[in-house]
Amino acid sequence: MNKRILLGVCGGIAAYKAAELVRLLRKQGHEVRVVMTAAARQFVTPLTFQALSGHAVHSELLDAEQEQAMSHIHLARWADILLIAPATADMLAKMAHGLADDLLSTLYLAAECPVFVAPAMNQAMWGKAVTQENIARLQSHNVQCIGPAAGEQACGEQGLGRMVEPADICRQVLEHGQSGALSDVNIVISAGPTREPLDPVRYITNRSSGKMGYALASAALFAGANVTLVSGPVNLPTPAGAKLIPVETALQMYDAVITHCRTADIYIGAAAVADYRPQQLADSKIKKGGDIGNIALVKNPDIIAAVAGLQPKPLVVGFAAETDDLENYAKHKLQTKNLDLIAANWVGQTEGGFESDRNALQVFWPGGQQILPMTDKHTLAAQLLKLIAEKLHEKNPVKNS
């Protein structure tokens, strides 16, 4: 279906690539209107975007003539999608804090449609803690972040910060833009680590950051799903619109997941559940003086296998983090746990895995597989969710067609 895309262009050298973006979006039959910041006009003339989009370019918040033709509120309502490319550090900061001192930042606040940003900036600016906090905040408000890509920068430096190429932005926006692919679908996602206490101050845990599960929750909300997020302790903002059930131990996660999966269409087990818990929980802190000897452990229940045994059974998606023989282990888990899909990834490598912002997945299902190459976890989540939605539609063509 043709979309009405509002393209916001900020002031950065990548602004010239936004012209190609307009051309590609229009070529695919979408209607594009362009908003430029004052700084963007220093890089590319509005005439370029006017010629490519076929519409006058909007720039001023307080321009009586333009407001008469289409007010900023009308412009925000008109859009099916707001795409900001390139998005500068300054614009991301304004958006993250609700500042609205120019037309584009005001449009973001007024927009109720899906919002995408394609950041472009120097690698040090992208890596700065405050920029990362701003982007995490925006993602928790369901803003979809595309890139940035790594490589040579206009300033001569190397690193993450280049705007993703227009053809890729176009593809990702339109893929994500199938918003509604999971509308009214109930999804339960478990994320993060579990903590298995030894005494009131110590516990056994693992390196899971929860980033993949939280990215999946955002992508599912974006696709229109009702999301219940059963989460172990993590340091991440809850995606806006998700129902958060915070848990600590594997047994608590088991109870919460089983309860909510009774009415779920999909369960995604992205949590790193501790396989064992200490048999004894000491009432008071274990003193270092004494010889505590061995810690006796007992096995935790396998949550995902239990969900796969429910009647009716939701579509069950598991994860497999492996250090070796990934394909065999993943296929074995798919079969023994009776899963519909398993997303396997290497851990203990230089890039990707538990604490990283990036990852690559090899996805298996009975009779098929697909590789999702290394990218940021939000893009990866959208790609994985697209596959999951396809499997749900195959399983249940009537309800979800």
Q: Which residues are known catalytic residues?
A: 155
Tell me which residue of 257, 256, 253 sits closest to 277, measured CA to CA: 253
Q: Can you state the percent helix, strand and coil of the chain, rounding each to 5?
A: 35, 25, 40
Stretches 113-121, 125-133, 241-249, 265-273: which one binds ligand C5P (CB under 6 A)?
Answer: 265-273
The residue count for binding ligand C5P (CB under 6 A) is 13
**Residues 322/316, Cβ–Cβ less than 8 Å:** no
In angstroms, what is the minimal distance from the CB of 241 to ligand C5P?
23
What is the spatial distance between Cα 219 and Cα 227, in angstroms, rounded to a whole number?
Answer: 10
Residue 302 annotated in ligand binding? yes
Residue among 187, 303, 381, 382 that touches ligand C5P (CB under 6 A): 303
Residue 275 lies near ligand C5P (rule: CB under 6 A): yes
Instruction: Using CA atoms of 160, 106, 114, 229 in order, give the dihedral in degrees to the nearest 10.
Output: 80
CB 192 to ligand C5P: min, Å? 10
What sign for the dihedral angle of Cα 38, 49, 156, 150?
positive
In the bound state with ligand C5P, the residue whose beta carbon lies nearer, of 97 and 299, is 299
Decide the pairing of beta strands 266-269 and 243-246.
unpaired
> Which residues, 306 to 365, sit near ligand C5P by CB under 6 A?
318-320, 333
Separation of alpha carbons 40 and 12, rounded Å: 7
CA distances, 314 to each of 258, 304, 309, 330, 395 (Å): 11, 11, 9, 20, 10
335, 304 contact by CB (below 8 A): no
Q: Interacting stretch for ligand C5P, rule CB under 6 A, among 16-24, 179-187, 298-306, 362-370?
A: 298-306
Nearer to ligand C5P, 178 or 338 (CB): 338
Give the one residue of 273, 363, 380, 385 binding ligand C5P; rule: CB under 6 A.
273
Binding-site ranges for ligand C5P (CB under 6 A): 250, 269, 271, 273, 275, 300, 302-304, 318-320, 333
Q: Which residues are annotated as a binding site?
A: 275, 285, 301-304, 319, 333, 337
Q: Which residues are annotated as a binding site for CTP?
A: 275, 285, 301-304, 319, 333, 337
